[in-house]
Amino acid sequence: MATKDSFDAFVSILRDKIDGFSENVNQPSVKIIQNELRDKFDDLAKSQGYVSNEEYEALKGLAERLEQRVSKLEELLDESKTK
């Protein structure tokens, strides 16, 4: 799905939720709508290749550890070549 199509779909979802909320103002559904919108937005963001901050930090940590391991292996390889 193209980015514009995804954005249009998200806006459509927002409009539907706002319309439903305004019809039933007496319902304490603000939290429900908020959670639904957050879930929909998260799904939309993930479909566009974005990740949450927690996922980013976890991947960053893995990449740093991998870099350290590769550096260590390169050092060991250089040492074994010089012997």
pLDDT tens by residue, 3-14: 667 777 777 777
Domain that holds residue 74: 53-83
- Report yes or no on whether pTM surpasses 0.85: no
Which stretches does DSSP call E strand in the chain?
A: none
Q: Is the same domain home to 46 and 57? A: no
Q: Is the same domain home to 40 and 67? A: no
pLDDT tens by residue, 22-67: 666 555 566 677 777 778 887 887 888 887 788 889 999 999 999 9
Q: 10: exposed, middle or buried (C-beta count within 10 Å: 0-12, 13-18, 19+)? A: middle
The whole-number pLDDT of residue 18 equals 72
Q: Is the same domain home to 14 and 31? A: yes
- How many residues comprise the chain? 83
The whole-number pLDDT of residue 28 equals 58
The whole-number pLDDT of residue 11 equals 73
How far does CA 47 lie from the centroid of its chain? 9
The whole-number pLDDT of residue 27 equals 56
